[in-house]
Amino acid sequence: MIVNKITDLIGNTPLFEIKMKNNDWKVFLKLEKFNPGGSMKDRMALNMIEQAEKDGRLKPNGTIIESSSGNTAIGLAIASAIKGYKFIAVVDHHASKEKIDMIKAYGGKIVTVGDGYKADEVAVVERERTAKKMANEIENAFFPNQADNFDNRSAYTDTLAKELVNELGNIDLFYAAIGTGGSSCGTALGLKKYNQNTLINVIEPVGSILFGGKGQPYFQSGTGNPIDAPIPKIIDYSIIDNNFYARDDEAFNTCRYLAKRFGLLVGGSAGGVIYKALEDINKKNGSGKAVILLCDGGEKYLNNVFNDEWMKKNNLINKNIVKQLEKWI
Ligand SMILES: Cc1ncc(COP(=O)(O)O)c(C=O)c1O
């Protein structure tokens, strides 16, 4: 394949098939780490920019400012670099060092908020407030506001859902992490257009409040909605059939296991989605096709999820997770 724009490499990511031990379900992992910025968020970042260009919200030489846990910012930084925009990412201390270093490498600037928060707390509200304020103050600025921006959601309906249907045809079960809801609901809208009966399952961290859970701090980055953060406007609850909660130890021990078993390095939210999806699929009889959407790769979490000292310090090593996984796959 020959391209002359890095954004032409967004999408068409591969599927990795894993076998269940106790039934004949076919399970496919959609590996979004193979996008240029290492996550599915490249898709929505480009779409939010291009739609804003079309309707004049974003003008030549403009400055894009977004609140992000890192992946959206990486996607925006890449698109900004090649389109000639300035880019500022508003992050909190929760964004991993690897993600921040990538944003800087693409020429983005970093503003960090949330001083005084505990290590496992996220400062989404403060991030969004700061990004909005800066966008009002800086001339020719654009705040995509991913949580309420429908161009985030439609990016996946137009690309990811189509890729899945083209490759697999009928899909019975779909599993995805949920933060803004752009990827889960956007893909779900596309899948349901093809087959109304595809069951849509979303996974948030224990401690996230999207389905009425009691909020508490969690380490899974980018996914869920922490205490006090407003519910993103683009979540379409009417197309979600089931919701599940992943604990940090379930998520992270799954990531560590997959690396050693399959040579597959996936990010923290992906580990949680895989664990809860396999638990659910294992209970099913017969056969069918399940797709598990994996947001990003483990390369961005080498200093926490894949760091033994960090895992031990936070009491997250749990050998029982591996024993469970070995019963399922
Ligand atoms: C690692 C990771 N997982 C899951 C999500 C949630 O995706 P969405 O915002 O599309 O719901 C994000 C979003 O930033 C993320 O960065």
Ligand 1 proximal residues by C-beta, below 6 Å: 41, 69, 71-72, 177-184, 221-223, 267, 269, 295-296
| Ligand 1 centre distance from Cα of residue 68 (Å) | 10
| Ligand 1 centre distance from Cα of residue 284 (Å) | 27
The residue contributing the CA closest to ligand 1 atom 15 is 222
Tell me how far apart the alpha carbons of residues 153 and 151 are, in angstroms, rounded to a whole number. 5
Contact 207, 215 (CB under 8 A): yes
Q: What is the pLDDT of residue 119?
A: 65
Non-local (6+) Cβ contacts of 56 within 8 A are none
Which whole-number Å values give the CA distances from 25 to 125, 133, 185, in the listed order?
41, 49, 23
Tell me how far apart the alpha carbons of residues 220 and 238 are, in angstroms, rounded to a whole number. 25
Tell me how far apart the alpha carbons of residues 131 and 136 are, in angstroms, rounded to a whole number. 9
Domains of the chain: 6-34+156-328 (3.40.50.1100), 41-146 (3.40.50.1100)
Q: What is the pLDDT of residue 22?
A: 96
| Ligand 1 centre distance from Cα of residue 278 (Å) | 20
Q: Are strands 15-19 and 26-31 parallel, antiparallel or unpaired?
A: antiparallel
Q: What is the pLDDT along the chain (329 residues), one digit of tens a residue?
A: 999 999 999 999 999 999 999 999 999 999 999 999 999 999 999 999 999 999 999 999 999 999 999 999 999 999 999 999 999 999 988 888 999 999 999 999 999 998 767 766 778 888 999 999 999 999 999 999 999 999 999 999 999 999 999 999 999 999 999 999 999 999 999 999 999 999 999 999 999 999 999 999 999 999 999 988 899 999 999 999 999 999 999 999 999 999 999 999 999 999 999 999 999 999 999 999 999 999 999 999 999 999 999 999 999 999 999 999 999 99
Q: For a ligand 1 pocket test, name from 295, 299, 304 the mutation site with the most ligand atoms within 8 angstroms of its C-beta.
A: 295
Two tokens at 29? Answer: 């992992």
Q: For a ligand 1 pocket test, name from 31, 41, 160 the mutation site with the most ligand atoms within 8 angstroms of its C-beta.
A: 41
The residue contributing the CA closest to ligand 1 atom 7 is 179
Tell me how far apart the alpha carbons of residues 151 and 293 are, in angstroms, rounded to a whole number. 19
Q: What is the pLDDT of residue 124?
A: 85
Q: Which atom of ligand 1 lies nearest, measured to the CA of 182?
A: 10
| Ligand 1 centre distance from Cα of residue 179 (Å) | 5
Q: What is the pLDDT of residue 232?
A: 97
User: Alpha-carbon torsion 175, 179, 183, 185, what sign?
Assistant: positive
